[in-house]
């Protein structure tokens, strides 16, 4: 794998990890306020971010980095 491709995946993974942490913090905040409708939406956002992160990590691993 070319360095540029590998670096792109690493940067994308780091961005998605930050996104996951933000969604997790939002979910915890809404659960703490007992705002279950917003918490449900944030749970869906967190799930999507985790799936994207997993996909990026799998692609990086498949490319032999």
Neighbours of 16 (CB within 10 A): 19
15 has pLDDT over 90: yes
Sorted by where each begins, the domain ranges of the chain are 3-62
pTM as predicted = 0.76
- Beta strand extents in 5-61 (DSSP E only): none
Confidence of residue 3 (pLDDT cuts 50, 70, 90): confident
The two tokens of residue 46 are 């967190």
Q: For the segment 24-60, what is each residue's pLDDT rounded down to a tens digit?
A: 998 888 888 888 888 888 899 999 999 999 999 999 9
């Amino acid at each position: 794998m070319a360095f540029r491709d590998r670096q792109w995946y690493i940067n994308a993974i780091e961005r998605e990890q930050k996104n996951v942490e933000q969604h997790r913090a939002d979910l915890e905040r809404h659960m703490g306020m007992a705002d279950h409708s917003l918490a449900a939406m944030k749970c869906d956002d967190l799930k999507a971010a985790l799936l994207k992160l997993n996909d990026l990590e799998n692609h990086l691993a498949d490319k032999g980095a």
